[in-house]
Every structure is written in structure tokens, then in C-alpha cells.
Amino acid sequence: MQVEKVKYVLWAADWQRCVKFYSELFGGEATMESEVWSEVVIQGAIIGIHGGGEGKRTWTGLSFQLDDLREGIRRLKECGGDLTCEPTDTPEEPLHLAMCIDPEGNEFMMTQRRS
């Protein structure tokens, strides 16, 4: 037996909006699109989007490490996502984690490597 692919699956009430969100925010490439199943490839990882979701808020465990978290937060909002709460810098802990939500209610994290 050989593993051929690993996919992370999200549910979406509006699958087209979800494909557009992850493609635009993270520069992903939609490699398959239908109302039942779509795939967006981001840095070699496959995000599977299953149509028919309820649009309820759902924690996913999905995380994206970025080189510039502040720019990621700006783009998140520009692409129709939001933060579950505004992250803050402190002298002890520079900004490195943002808890986010996509337009379909899927919660995920964006992080930046600590120096």
C-alpha cells in the first residue's frame, strides 16, 4: 500500500466562495472544482472543499505559517475572512499567532515564526 495524497477537508455552504477565499488569500491553485468536491493546492498541501456544509462556525486545526503575519491579517480581511479576536504585540511576545475564520465559518490559524 502507498499513500498517494494527503488532503485536509473543509465543509462549505458556498463552495465557490470558499475556493475563491483560499485561492486569493494564500495564492492557492484550484485544481478541481465542483459543487460536491473541490481542491485548492497551497504550497503542496491539498485543501479539499466539500460542498453542502451548513456554514456553522467550526474549529478545523488548520494552520498556515506566513513570513509576514500583519500582511496576512490585512489580506484575510480583504478576502472576506475575519479574526476571532485581534492579536496583540507585547514586549514579552511579539505578534506570532492570529486566530481566523473563513467566510464559511471554518476557523484556522495563521502564524509567524518567532525570532
Query: What's the whole-model pTM score?
Result: 0.90
Q: Smallest Cα–Cα separation from 100: which of 91, 110, 90?
A: 110
- For position 9, what pLDDT does the model report? 95
* pLDDT tens by residue, 32-78: 999 999 999 999 999 999 998 998 999 999 999 999 999 999 999 99
- Residue extents of the structural domains in the chain: 7-112
Query: For residue 55, which phi and psi values (nearest 5 degrees)?
Result: 75, 15
Contact (Cβ atoms closer than 8 angstroms) between residue 40 and residue 16: no
Pick the CATH number of 7-112 from 3.30.70.20, 3.40.190.10, 3.10.180.10, 3.90.320.10: 3.10.180.10
Quote the cell numbers at residue 30: 484550484
CA dihedral 90, 101, 103, 105 (to 10 degrees): -150
- For position 93, what pLDDT does the model report? 76
* pLDDT tens by residue, 23-41: 999 999 999 999 999 999 9
The SS3 assignment for 78 reads helix
